[in-house]
Chains A and B, each alone.
Chain A
């Protein structure tokens, strides 16, 4: 089944990305697990006590530009572990931190009305920024393979690996969703 899925993706992913591409399990899992995938901008960041004042979480409101998956409304509230209340700061290693104005693509699960959570902590948080030409790109490159049976070393600095434009990233997500439904 997994092989069938991978082959389907190999055919389905647009040629503009690379001649042939395989989307690694890790990215496919993010897409599959997430009930909501939102591209938007952080408009509010607020920490609060939770769990009977035994922990601090940060509630991040993201105003949606668009949803790649799901779509509960004009904005979503995302609950991230850690934050600062008064003089006490809780740091949860692995949890992303956000500031008002950040442009992001977030892979979310749970109820966006009460505070969705990010799939895999920072693994499900992608930053968006302009590249040197001013194009909006997802800054963390997605690792794309070409073969199921042949090991492909991941070499840092590979000239063919570049951040994806938001449009291409959206297309990749949509293709994974389509493939995953087969």
Chain B
């Protein structure tokens, strides 16, 4: 029987986002404040490891990384840029002041395809460097159409680069159990934390990814052309912490997710196309909620999904307020 296993591209650590977040962002404490991780200066200067692995040469790796960077850089109304400095023999897991992207042989992390790390100045919140490693114990490919049994470098790099830019995980993915393992059926975000089975491509951004990046680096033009929804998720009148909230635009078919990040159940979903949306709340009870939200208080998983009783009209450049999604215990 074909072996199916769900590999975490990355797993946990998503620090609580500010209350106005449209998306989960990585953050760090600066004094008593929690600030989003973001790059203050561009271009981001990065190196690529100079080691070939089976099936992927260093120049091919660099091309795949450049392709993934171009995808993020192509988001409209967002100003980010990067510069490939050169190849290096440095490790993509060390604090050497260089941002390094590349392969590293980590048999001890044999359930992890890749991950991203940062070094941050805790006084200023400035990102000093960020590294991305792809675990070379797995078979990799840069074939334009993917390759059976091999993970696609550009797809996984796209996910990790989302972290490098400050994005946390999205929960917009659907999975099942089949053949004894967990399988990803679909994802409406490249930031979904479980990889598609080897051989599949996931090289294109979705509305959720665009909303997330725009939340961190977006311009006034982006904010003027999109809208947001704010509200609460409640259970028996009390707030629900850690609910996943999805805004679905039936006209365009796009999905953007958000989370209730405070004990009163408050949420904001931004970066939405103007127009009518269906709003749904659901628990993160199919995995480790800590891989999405790092909260000192327990995440509430004990409720059934619920849809807001009305369609929500999102105004262009404005906010639809007061959406209360009432859920009931399981």
Q: Is B182 an interface residue (CB 8 A)?
A: yes
Q: Is A129 an interface residue (CB 8 A)?
A: yes
Which residues of B (9-44) have their CB < 8 Å from a CB of A? 10-13, 26, 28, 37
Size class of the B contact interface (CB-based, 8 Å): 35 or more
Q: Is B244 an interface residue (CB 8 A)?
A: yes
Given contacts A97-B13, A120-B8, contact A24 B301 (CB under 8 A): no
Which A residues lie within 8 Å of B3 (CB)? 2, 25
Least CB distance from B111 to A in Å reads 3
Given contacts A88-B120, A92-B115, contact A24 B11 (CB under 8 A): no
- A156 near B285 with CB under 8 A, answer yes
Closest-by-CB residue of B relative to A30 is B111
Which A residues lie within 8 Å of B128 (CB)? 88
Given contacts A2-B3, A54-B96, A91-B26, contact A26 B289 (CB under 8 A): no
Q: Is A178 an interface residue (CB 8 A)?
A: no
Choose the segment among A36-44, A68-76, A140-148 that binds chain B (4+ C-beta atoms closer than 8 Å). A140-148
Q: How many A-B residue pairs have CB under 8 A?
A: 200
Which A residues lie within 8 Å of B277 (CB)? none
Choose the segment among A12-20, A79-87, A167-175 that binds chain B (4+ C-beta atoms closer than 8 Å). A79-87
Q: Give B160-204 as 1s and 0s: 1 = Cβ < 8 Å from A's Cβ atoms.
A: 000100000000001111111111010000000000000000000
- B330 near A94 with CB under 8 A, answer no
Closest-by-CB residue of B relative to A121 is B11
Q: Give B279-298 as 1s and 0s: 1 = Cβ < 8 Å from A's Cβ atoms.
A: 00011111111110010101
- A92 near B283 with CB under 8 A, answer no
Rounded to whole angstroms, the CA-CA distance of A117 and B108 in the bound complex is: 8
Q: Is B303 an interface residue (CB 8 A)?
A: yes
Least CB distance from A109 to B in Å reads 7
Q: Is A56 an interface residue (CB 8 A)?
A: yes
- B108 near A121 with CB under 8 A, answer no
Least CB distance from B81 to A in Å reads 22
Q: Is A3 an interface residue (CB 8 A)?
A: yes
- B288 near A123 with CB under 8 A, answer yes
Rounded to whole angstroms, the CA-CA distance of A97 and B174 in the bound complex is: 27
Q: Is A154 an interface residue (CB 8 A)?
A: yes
Closest-by-CB residue of A relative to B160 is A93
Which A residues lie within 8 Å of B122 (CB)? 84, 87-89
Which B residues lie within 8 Å of A159 (CB)? 304, 330
Q: Is B263 an interface residue (CB 8 A)?
A: no
Given contacts A55-B94, A88-B95, A121-B12, contact A157 B303 (CB under 8 A): yes
Rounded to whole angstroms, the CA-CA distance of A145 and B181 in the bound complex is: 9
Which A residues lie within 8 Å of B174 (CB)? 153-154
- B1 near A29 with CB under 8 A, answer no
Least CB distance from B29 to A in Å reads 8
Which A residues lie within 8 Å of B50 (CB)? none
- A156 near B117 with CB under 8 A, answer no
Least CB distance from A122 to B in Å reads 3
Q: Is A180 an interface residue (CB 8 A)?
A: no
